[in-house]
Chains A and B, each alone.
Chain A
C-alpha cells in the first residue's frame, strides 16, 4: 500500500470537512496556503467544495519556479548558449518562458546543451563524465531543495571537480511570508498553511518568528488532502481561540528543529544574499541564497562573470499579482486564452506548482461561463 493512502481516505476527509463546517460558523476566514503543492492538492482533490463558504483559501508565492524573475532565467539561457557549457536543469524550468518567448527547451532545440536532471548529483556526475565541458547546475527551489544542492557541491569539492559550478537561485520561505504580510495590497489573511517538506529541512519552529510578528497562526501541513483539511481545521480553531502560534500538523515527517546535517552543509556552501528580486513581490531582503566565499570557485555567476539581467514580465502576464494572492488566475486577461499550459506566457501556468496551472487543470469547471 502506498504510504500516502491513509491520508487520502475520503471518509476521513469528509469527517474533517464536517468538523470545519461546525466550527467555522461565526465568521469568515481567509487562509493562505503558501506552497504551490498545497494549491494543487486543494484543486486536484476538490477540497474547495468540501470547505464551507465561510473559509476562503488564497494561494501564495510558494512556487520557486513561478517567483524566479525572468531576468534570472534569461541569464541561465545565456549560459546554456555559451560554447562548451552543459546546463543541467530540473525539468520544471525547461518550458518557462523567458524574455522574447525564449526558454531553455527552445534554446536546446537551437543547439544549446541543456540536460534535464532530477537530482543535483546527476549534474555533478555530468561534470565527472565530461571533463572537457563546463557543467553548470541551474539551482532553483525553496529550502527543501537547497541541502541537496549543498551536498552535490560538497561531493564535487571532495572529488576535486574543476568543471562543475552552480547558478544559485535558492529562495527562503520565511522571508516570503514576511513580504506577503508587508506588501501594500496584501489580501486580508487570518493564517497560513505552512510548507511541510521545507519544514523537514528547516524545522517547524523556523516559522515561529513570523507567527509572532504578524500574530497569525501557521500550521505546518503535509500534502495529502486529509493533511490540508486537518491544517484548515487547526487554523480555524486557533483563530476562534485568538491564538497565533506555529502548529506542526506534519510531525510524522517534519521535526521542530532543523535537520542538523542539512543546516551544516548549507551554511558551508551558501550564504544569504542582501536582497533578491521575486516576481510579484519585488526585492526582498535576506530572502535568497548565493554561493559562500569558501565555495566561490563553484559560483557560476563569478566563474562566467555573469551580467545581471533585469527583464520585465510579458505585458499581459498577471503572475506577479497572482503570486501575491491579489488576483485569481481566472481574473487574468489571458488566462486560458493566449496563456495555457501548452502555450504559457508566464511561469504560473507552466510550473507544476503554479496557481494558474492548478486552476486551468482542475478549477475551470467552476468558473467557466457557458456560451450564451
Chain B
C-alpha cells in the first residue's frame, strides 16, 4: 500500500513524466516533483513520482554499507 518502486525517468512533459520500471513504461504525475528531469531515478507510487533517488548518495551509501560489513574485528 505504501510501497514505492524506483524507476528511470525517460521523458518529461507538462505535469507528467514517462517512467521505465524494469522495462515497463508508465505515465506518472510530476505534481509532487515538478523539476524531475529525464535520466533521473525516481520513486513511483500510486501514479506519482514522489522523490528523486540521488545517484551520488546511493553510491556513498553502498560504499558505507560495504565498509560496515567488511570491518572484521580480529
Q: Chain B residues near A63: list those with CB within 8 A.
A: 1
Q: Chain B residues near A256: list those with CB within 8 A.
A: none
Which A130-152 residues have C-beta < 8 A from chain B? Answer: 140-142, 144-145, 147-148, 151
- How many angstroms from the CA of A87 to the CA of B41 in the assembled complex? 33
- How many angstroms from the CA of A223 to the CA of B5 in the assembled complex? 10
Q: Chain A residues near B38: list those with CB within 8 A.
A: none
Q: Chain B residues near A11: list those with CB within 8 A.
A: 69
Q: Is the CB of A151 within 8 A of B31?
A: yes
- How many angstroms from the CA of A11 to the CA of B66 in the assembled complex? 9
Q: Is the CB of B53 within 8 A of A252?
A: yes
Q: Is the CB of A118 within 8 A of B61?
A: no
Please pick, from A4, A19, A62, A147, the residue contacting B71 in the complex, using a CB distance under 8 A.
A19
Q: Is the CB of A12 within 8 A of B65?
A: yes
Known A12-B66, A197-B50: A3·B6 in contact at CB below 8 Å: yes
* Interface status of A92 (Cβ within 8 A of chain B): yes
Known A259-B32, A353-B1: A6·B46 in contact at CB below 8 Å: no
Q: Chain B residues near A14: list those with CB within 8 A.
A: 69
Q: Is the CB of A197 within 8 A of B1?
A: no
Please pick, from A4, A15, A64, A147, the residue contacting B68 in the complex, using a CB distance under 8 A.
A15
Q: Is the CB of A261 within 8 A of B31?
A: yes
Which one, A119-127, A208-216, A272-280, is touching chain B?
A119-127
- How many angstroms from the CA of A63 to the CA of B3 in the assembled complex? 11
- How many angstroms from the CA of A311 to the CA of B41 in the assembled complex? 44
* Interface status of A36 (Cβ within 8 A of chain B): yes
Q: Is the CB of B32 within 8 A of A122?
A: no
- How many angstroms from the CA of A62 to the CA of B3 in the assembled complex? 11
Q: Chain A residues near B4: list those with CB within 8 A.
A: 144, 197, 200
Q: Chain B residues near A32: list those with CB within 8 A.
A: none
B48 to chain A, nearest CB (A): 5
Which A235-250 residues have C-beta < 8 A from chain B? Answer: 249
Q: Chain A residues near B57: list those with CB within 8 A.
A: 251-252
Which B24-74 residues have C-beta < 8 A from chain A? Answer: 29, 31-34, 41, 43, 45-48, 50-54, 57-58, 61-62, 65-66, 68-73
Closest to A15 in B: B69
**Residue among B33, B43, B46, B50 with most chain A CB within 10 A:** B46
Nearest 4 CB-CB pairs, A to B?
A15-B69, A119-B47, A200-B51, A252-B57
Q: B residues within 8 Å of A by Cβ?
A: 1-8, 22, 29, 31-34, 41, 43, 45-48, 50-54, 57-58, 61-62, 65-66, 68-73
Further pairs besides A3-B7, A118-B46: 8, Cβ < 8 Å: A12-B69, A16-B65, A19-B68, A140-B1, A144-B4, A249-B61, A251-B54, A252-B57
